[in-house]
Amino acid sequence: MGWSKDPGPTYLAGRLPAIFVRGGMKELSIFIDESGDFGEYAKHSPYYIISMVMHDQVVDISAEITKLNDSLNYMGYGDEQAIHTEPLIRREEPYKFFEPNERRALFSKLFYFAMACDIKYKSFIYRKTEYEIALKLSERMERDITGFIIDNYAYFQSFERVILYYDNGQHELSSILNKVFSAQLVNYDMRRVFPNQYKLFQVADLICTLELLRVKTEHQDLSNSEKKIFHSKRDLKKDFMKGIRKKEFT
């Protein structure tokens, strides 16, 4: 179907109610983000990760959005500002002058929002050294996402419409998503969004970061920047990783 220009009257920017079912139509929203790129292996980018956050719009999360917005406003971090977790950890803009406890607080608030919401997620993780060229990586992604839909076809077919939300950050991933979902689902649409518009898109970013931290810490210790936020691998697992896995699509 390609990109829809109309974002639709769903839960935009966390300000409108989380539920809007047109004429009783049952809709599944899927928020998608990625970590990494399609370029060759580099030490700073050894993995490519895709995370999909699924939300049945029948389930109202407006109370959770309001609670998150209120807590962000209390911190002085406007609720219309997106939380970008990787720059947050690395103390990059716009977090350059935030203290470690402030950055951990922002990360934690988004995490507990995710835990409070009735959502599911699925992540796909690729070590780039295993693929000689980007085409091979793309082909593997297509197979994996296709297999995920086929294995859970009854779930996806239980919705009258499935809408993907992606920021079109990487053209290659946009093409793969459009190709796979349009081939497998007739009730499919795809919409371009901006991160500050949807809290659940920010949750997809959060999950990408946690999945990246999980695979990194299997082989090495936390970086100095990561230690300032998570303290240790043990604390990271106990405080964040163990909880988020409860939301994983099974």
Q: How do residues 26-80 score in pLDDT, each as one tens digit?
A: 999 999 999 998 877 777 789 999 999 999 999 999 999 999 999 999 999 987 8
As given in the structure block, the two tokens for residue 129 are 């050294």
Spans of all domains in the chain: 3-247
As given in the structure block, the two tokens for residue 148 are 């995920």
Per-residue confidence at 225, pLDDT binned at 50, 70, 90?
very high
| 4: pLDDT strictly greater than 90 | no
pLDDT tens string 161-215? 999 999 988 899 999 999 999 999 989 999 999 999 999 999 999 999 999 999 9
Question: What pLDDT sits at residue 241?
Answer: 97
Question: What pLDDT sits at residue 24?
Answer: 62
pLDDT tens string 8-41? 434 443 433 333 444 567 999 999 999 998 877 7
Are 198 and 171 contacting, i.e. CB atoms less than 8 angstroms apart? no
Question: What pLDDT sits at residue 41?
Answer: 72
Is 3-247 assigned to CATH 1.10.10?
no
Rounded CA-CA distance 167/223 in Å is 28
| 250: pLDDT strictly greater than 90 | no
Are 213 and 236 contacting, i.e. CB atoms less than 8 angstroms apart? yes
Question: What pLDDT sits at residue 40?
Answer: 74
State the chain's mean pLDDT as an integer.
89
Residues in the chain: 250
Q: Provide the 10 A C-beta neighbour count for residue 153.
A: 12
Our CA angle for 169, 175, 181, nearest 5°, is 115
Our CA angle for 191, 35, 119, nearest 5°, is 60
Question: What pLDDT sits at residue 21?
Answer: 44
Residue type, 18: A
Question: What pLDDT sits at residue 168?
Answer: 86
Per-residue confidence at 114, pLDDT binned at 50, 70, 90?
very high
